[in-house]
Amino acid sequence: MGKLSIANSLERGKTFYHEVVSEVRKTSFPSREETMGATGVVFVLVILLSVYLAFVDMLLSRGMALILS
Whether residue 38 contacts residue 30, with contact meaning beta carbons closer than 8 Å, is answered with: yes
First to last CA, the chain: 79
Report the predicted TM-score, pTM, of the whole model to 2 decimal places. 0.61
Residue 17 has a pLDDT of 96
Domain boundaries, the chain: 2-68
Residue-wise pLDDT for 15-68, tens only, equals 999 999 999 999 999 999 999 999 999 999 999 999 999 999 999 999 999 999
